[in-house]
Amino acid sequence: MRLIMVGFGTIGQNLARILESKKKQLLREFGFHPRIVAVVDTAGAMINPEGLDLNRALAVKQTKGSVAKDPELGRLGMDAQEVIEGVEAETVLELTPTRIVDGEPGLSHIKTALRRRRHVITTNKAPLAIAMPSLMEMASYNKALLKFSGTVGGGTPILDFVRKCLNGNRIESVRGILNGTTNYILTRMAESDTPMDAALKEAQVLGYAEADPSYDIDGMDTACKLVILANSTMGREVSLKDVEIKGIREVTREDIEAARKKGSRIKLIGTVDGGVSVRPEAVPLGHPLCIGGTLNAVSFRTELTGELTVVGKGAGGVETASAVLRDIVDVRRALAQ
């Protein structure tokens, strides 16, 4: 299975390490060997049609700042579009950062790949939040798969839980914590009185925050995930403009203290019921959504099984890379069938 990796930041590099360390396991358990034939970062590409040595790609990235600086396989200035158009591969991994203004460059990468009938696996929320129905249609028209488990819940299989475990059931509403960075910040503010700015810096150092952390703080990241969730699991046709959004920027120490006195914690909660909204809410201690750190938790109210809650790490390079790995295995299985 040949793959092109577009974006070689936290997620891409962690995926490279995972793929290197799991070569034998993937062959033994799933009977295949994923070969990354190209890696693209902002300065250019590194290409080997036989499959790249990912340890070498990681070393070049770390020592020289870009994979394109590999003396033999590097192509300085070659961009993602050229690579997607020109390098033979079945699947494109689109792992560039979320840019909500226009979804670019991820949106164009995904469209080009689908038009070329390549399967796409993405962790980039913006293209989906902006253009999910048309991308799904484009994928189906070109008989290509479009997978995006890592866009919601990081490594926690929130979308897969619905897709694979609730067949025949119906989701009536969703309520949850979908952003690890704000959960981390609110937890630090409540438990150790850390100011919001300092807690955000910690979350950035730990690799949880978005490249533009205002997406986390102002609720946009949660809103994108709600849009993806609502479209892909609830049959809703909503986009970002339908989401009522209030982030945590105005949450004060006093608010946190007042919630504590009432036996609650403030959490940034995303809800899909009659409408779609994001806002800070006080959640009582002991409630399934009252979880700390970078955890995500999503409660589904279902038609046949009442309320079901999925909890797990929602951010982090390794965790999100694990979602890409799940999607790679899914694509492989679909191709084998």
- Please report, as a single letter, which amino acid is at residue 173: S
Residues near ligand HSE (CB under 6 A) are 154, 179-181, 208-210, 216, 221, 314-315
Q: Which is nearer to ligand HSE, 180 or 312 (CB)?
A: 180
Q: Which is nearer to ligand HSE, 60 or 272 (CB)?
A: 272
Longest dimension (CA), the chain: 63
CB 234, min distance to ligand HSE, A: 20
Q: Which is nearer to ligand HSE, 12 or 74 (CB)?
A: 12
CB 202, min distance to ligand HSE, A: 12
Active site residues: 225
CB 232, min distance to ligand HSE, A: 15
Q: Is 35 helix (H, G, I), strand (E, B) or coil?
A: strand
State the DSSP string of 277-292. Answer: EEEEEEEETTSTT---
Phi, psi of 330 (to 5 degrees): -60, -45
Terminus-to-terminus CA distance in the chain, angstroms?
14
CB 49, min distance to ligand HSE, A: 32
Q: Which is nearer to ligand HSE, 74 or 213 (CB)?
A: 213
Helix (H) or strand (E) holding 47: strand 44-47
CA atoms within 13 A on the CB side of 38: 27
Q: Which is nearer to ligand HSE, 87 or 200 (CB)?
A: 200
Bond prior to 105 in cis (omega within 30° of 0): yes
Are 97 and 70 a contacting pair, CB within 8 Å?
no
Cβ neighbours for 126, distance < 8 A, ≥ 6 positions apart: 98, 99, 100, 102, 103, 106, 107, 224
Residues 22, 199: Cα–Cα separation, whole Å: 34
CB 325, min distance to ligand HSE, A: 16
CB 188, min distance to ligand HSE, A: 13
CB 148, min distance to ligand HSE, A: 11
Are 39 and 52 a contacting pair, CB within 8 Å?
yes
Q: Which is nearer to ligand HSE, 57 or 291 (CB)?
A: 291
Q: Which is nearer to ligand HSE, 90 or 216 (CB)?
A: 216
Strand order of the β-sheet with 171-177 is 243-245, 276-284, 264-272, 171-177, 295-302, 306-313
> What is the chain's Cα-based Rg?
20
Are 61 and 25 a contacting pair, CB within 8 Å?
no
Which residue's beta carbon is nearest to the bound ligand HSE?
181
